[in-house]
Amino acid sequence: MATVPLQHGNRDTEWKLPARGTVAMASLITAESSIFTIFVVAYLYYLGTDVQGPHPKDVLEVPWFYSACLLSSSFFIWLAEHAIDRAKMAAFRLWWAVTILLGLIFLYGTAVEWHKLIVEDHLTISTNLFGTTYYSLVGLHASHVVVGLLMMLFVMIFSLMGAVGPQHAYRVKTLALYWHFVDAVWVVVFTVVYVVGR
Amino acid sequence: MADQSLPAGQGIQAGHGSETALDRTSAHGTYLELVHSWIVTVDHKKLGIMYIAYALVFLLVAGAEAMLIRIQLIKPHNDFLSPYSFNRMFTMHGTTMVFLVGMPILFGFGNYLVPLMIGARDMAFPRLNAFSFWVSAFAGLLLYYSFIGGVGLSGTGSAPDIAWFAYAPLTEKAFSPGHTTDYWAIAILANGIGSIGTAINIIATVFCMRCKGMTLMRIPLLPWLYATMSFLVLVAVSPLTACQAMLLIDRYLGGHFFDTQAGGSAILWAHFFWIFGHPEVYVLVLPAFAFANEIIPVFSRKAIFGYPAMVAASVGIGFISLGVWAHHMFTIGMTSFGNAFFTLSTMLVSIPTGIKTFNWLATIWGGKVRFETPMLFSVAFLFQWVIAGLTGIMLSVSAWNWQLHNSYFVVAHFHYVLVGAIVFMIFAALYYWYPKMTGRMLDERLGKWHFWLMVIGFHVTFDTMHFPGLLGMPRQIYTYEPDRGWNSLNFIVSVGGFIQAIAILIFVYNLIHSYFRGEDAGPDPWDAWTLEWATASPPPVYNFAIEPEVASRRPLWDRKHPEDPDSAFE
C-alpha cells in the first residue's frame, strides 16, 4: 500500500487544539449548572406554598458581609492567577491564601446562619417546604464551596512545600475557573433566596 | 513528516504479524495477572470492551426479565408471577435496559472508537475514564444487590417496584417502605456520576485530542454525534442526578420535595424526570445514528451524503430534544398553550430526523450495496426508525395522546425506538467493529440467522403490540380479563418475544464461538475509510505507531486511491 503524499499546506504551523482542562472544566460547569437549575426551580416552585411557618421573610437575613467575602474572593484568585502567570510565587501564595480565607469566612457565615435558623427559629430540613428547599439549595452551594476549598487547600499545601511552580499556571487557572463558577452560582442563589424569596 | 499521510503499512503489514497475535497470546502471566491488568487498566480500548461486556451481561439479565413479563401476559388470568414480582420485573427491566445496557454499551463504543477515529492515542483523561466505568459498574451491582439485600414489602430479598420513571409520591417513605427504592435511587445517582464523567471525557477528547489536519469539518460523523450526545448527558443526566438527591433527602432526612402530604408536588417530579427522560432517548439514539453514519456509507461504497447537513441535524436534534419533555405529561393536565407548545416542539424533532433519514437513503441510492450482516441490521434500522418516528408524531398530538397515554401503544412506540432502532444498530455496530476489537470476524451465517430471527421476532412482537394499546390495554398491568379481546394479540406478542430471545442466544453463541474460531479479520476487513481501520486488529496499546495526519474526511480512501483522493475536493 503506497503512501500518498498529501498536500498539507501551511497547517503545520497553525495546528492548535483547545486545551483539554478548560474544555473539561467548562463541561463540568455545564453539568453543575443543570444541577443547580433543578434546585433553584424547586425553590422557586415551592416559594410561598407553606401553610406552616417559619417563612423566609420572618427568619432570613441578608448575608451582605459574607456574600461580599465570597464574591471578592473571585477577585483575589484572579490576582493569584495573574501572579503565577508572571512567576511571582510569593504573591501567588499570598493571594491564594486570601482566597481560601475568604471562602472559610463565607462558610462560617453559613454555619452561623444555619445555627440561628435551627436553634432560634426551629427551622430544619424537615420542618416545611421552605426548610427542605432552602437547606438543600444553600447546602448544595456550600458543599461546592467545601470542595473548592479542599482543592485550593491542596494547592496551598503543595505550594508551601515548594511543589507548585509557574509551570503549573494552567492547572491553577483551571481550578480557579471552578472557583469563579462557585462564586457566580452564589449570585444566583443569593438573588433567589434573599432577594426574590424574601 | 509534512508530506507523509498516514503511517501506512503499520496496520496493513502488521496485520498478519506480531501485533495481531499480541493480545490473543497475552496470557503470558497467570490468570490473576490477566484479571489484574484489566482491573487497573486506563486504556480506552480495554475500558470500552469492559463497558460493552458489562452491558451485554445486563442485556441478558434484562432480556430474561422481559421474558418473565411476557410469560405472565401470554394468557389472561395467568398466575406465573405474583403482582408484586411483576412490578419488580418491569421496573428492573426498564431501569436495567436504559441505565445498565443502553448507556454503558454506547459509552463502550464511544470509548473504543472515538480516540481511534480521531487518530488519538487515548481519551483526554484516561484515569477519569476508568473511574467513570467503575462507578457505573458499582451502580449496576448495587441495583442488583437489592434482589438479595433489599428489604421490601414482602420481607428480605426484593427489588425496586416503582417503575423506571419512579413517579412520586410512590417513592416516598410512606408508600415505599424498606430499602429497595433507596437502592434504586443511589444506583441511578452513582450511574449518573459515571455518565457525566464519561461525557466530559468524550467532549474533551473530541475537541482537544484530534490528530493533525482533522478540523471540525473532517471529524468522522461518529465522534461528532458522540460529542452532541455527551452534551445532552451533561444537561439532561445532571437533572436526574439532582432529583435523585432530592428523593434521598426526602427519604433519609425527612424532606418534602415530593411528599404530597406535606405540600410537595408529584408533578414536579414528573417534570424533573422527563427533563431527563426525553433527552435520554436522544442520548441513546444519537450513537445509533452515529453507527449508521459509519456503516451505511461503507456498505454502500459511497461517501456519506450531506455531511454538513448531518452534523447540523444531529446538533439540532440535541437542542430541540431539550424542549419537548412535557409530551410525556399531557394527561397530567396543562394549559392549552402548554399542550400546543409541546405538541409543536415534538413535531419539530421530525425535521432534523427526516433530514438524517433522507441523507441515509441518498447515501444508499445508486451505491454498490453489500448486504453483509452490519448492513442488514442498518437497513432494518432505517425502516423501523421511520415507523417509530411516525407513531411518535401520532403520540405528540396531545388530543391523540390523551386517548393512548400509558397504553401498550406507547410501549410499542418506544420499544420500536429502543429495540428497532437502537438495539438493531448496536448489533450492526458489534458485527462491524467486533473484528477490530478481537481480530476475528463474526460468523456470517450465524449472523444471518441472528438477523432474520431478530427482525421477524421484532415485528411479530412490536407491530402486534400497537393493537392491544389501541384496544385500551394499559401498560404495567400484571394480568387482564379474558373478555377484552386482547388474548390472541398478547399471545402473538409473547411468541415474538421468544423468537427474539432465540436470536439473541444465537448472537451470544456467535460472539463466543467467533472469538476462538472466527476467521482472521486483518486490519481492514470491510474496506472502510476511517482511521480505526488504519491500525492492526486489535489495535496495539498505543493505537498508532506514528500519529496519523489527515487531509480529508476519509483518510483511508485517500491512501487507497491516490489517483482520486477526497482531499482534492475539500
DSSP state for residue B196 in the 8-state scheme = H
- Inform me whether the pLDDT recorded for B6 exceeds 70: no
Q: What is the mean pLDDT of residues B547-561?
A: 90
The larger pLDDT score, comparing residue B120 to residue A11, is at B120
Q: Within an 8 Å CB–CB cutoff, is residue A10 touching chain B? A: no
Residue B152 pLDDT class (50, 70, 90 cuts): low
Residues of B within 8 A of A17 (CB-CB) are 207-210
Give the pLDDT confidence score for residue B155 in this predicted structure: 57
pLDDT higher than threshold 80 for residue B22: no
The band of B333, judged by pLDDT with boundaries at 50, 70 and 90, is confident
Provide the pLDDT for residue B12: 42
Angle ∠(B359,B465,B361) on CA atoms, nearest 5: 10
**C-alpha gyration radius of chain B:** 24
Residue range A29-86, pLDDT digits in tens:
999 999 999 999 999 999 989 888 899 999 999 999 999 999 999 999 999 999 999 9
Mean pLDDT, to the nearest integer, of B149-176?
81
Q: Per residue in B92-142, pLDDT tens?
A: 999 999 999 999 999 999 999 999 999 999 999 999 999 999 999 999 999
pLDDT band at B157 (very low <50, low <70, confident <90, very high): low
B158: cell is 426484593
The mean pLDDT value for B48-60 works out to 96
Best of B123, B247, B256 to mutate (most A CBs within 10 Å, chain A): B256
pLDDT per residue as tens digits for the range A107-153: 999 999 999 999 999 999 999 999 999 999 999 999 999 999 999 99
**pLDDT at residue B566 in the model:** 86
Q: Is the pLDDT of residue B364 over 90?
A: yes
Q: Do B559 and A23 touch (CB under 8 A)?
A: no
- Average pLDDT for chain B: 91
- Per-domain boundaries in chain A: 3-196
Which residue is associated with the grid cell 412482537?
A: B461
In this prediction, residues B478-499 reach a mean pLDDT of 95
Chain A residues whose beta carbon lies within 8 Å of the beta carbon of residue B253:
125-126
pLDDT at residue B375 greater than cutoff 50: yes
* DSSP track, B507-556: HHHHHHHHHHHPPB--S-TT---SGGGGS-SSPPTTS-SS--B-SSS-HH
Look at residue B565 and tell me whether its pLDDT is greater than 90. no
Hey, are the CB atoms on A5 and B5 less than 8 Å from each other?
yes
Chain position carrying cell 485517500: B558
Residue B188 clears pLDDT 50, i.e. is over it: yes
Averaged pLDDT for residues B414-429: 96
- Mean of the pLDDT values across residues B31-57? 94
Residue B32, chain A, CB below 8 Å: the answer is no
pLDDT of residue B421: 96
pLDDT recorded at residue A193? 95
B495 CA: distance to closest CA in chain A (Å): 43
The rounded percent of chain B whose pLDDT value lies above 70 is 94
Q: Which of B12, B195, B200 to mutate to test the interface with A (most CBs of A within 10 A)?
A: B200
Task: Please give the Cα distance from B116 to A20 (Å, whole number).
Answer: 17
The CA-atom distances, in angstroms, between B231 and each of A30, B41, B202, B321, B515 are 9, 26, 9, 12, 35
CATH code of the region A3-196: 1.20.120.80
| B507 pLDDT above the threshold of 80 | yes
Nearest to B3 among A8, A32, A34 (CB): A8
| CB of B123 closer than 8 Å to CB of B208 | no
Which pLDDT score, from 0 to 100, does residue A13 have?
A: 58
Tens digit of each residue's pLDDT (9 = 90 or more) over A143-197:
999 999 999 999 999 999 999 999 999 999 999 999 999 999 999 999 999 999 8
Across the interface, of B243, B250, B256, the residue whose CB is closest to A38 is B243
Say whether B125 and A3 touch across the interface (CB within 8 A): no
Residue B512 in this model has a pLDDT that exceeds 50? yes
Taking the C-alpha atoms of residue B114 and residue A30, their distance in angstroms, rounded to an integer, is 22
Nearest to A2 among B250, B275, B562 (CB): B562
Q: Do A6 and B255 touch (CB under 8 A)?
A: no
Average pLDDT over residues B544-560: 90
Residue B31's contacts (CB-CB under 8 Å, 6 or more residues apart) are: none
HEC string of A137-166? Answer: HHHHHHHHHHHHHHHHHHHHHHHHCCCCCH
Q: Does A35 touch chain B (CB under 8 A)?
A: yes
pLDDT higher than 70, residue B25? no
Compute the distance between CA of residue B159 and CA of residue B370 in angstroms, rounded to an integer. 46
Cβ–Cβ < 8 Å for B375, B295: yes
Note the pLDDT of residue B402.
93
Average pLDDT on B204-224 reads: 94
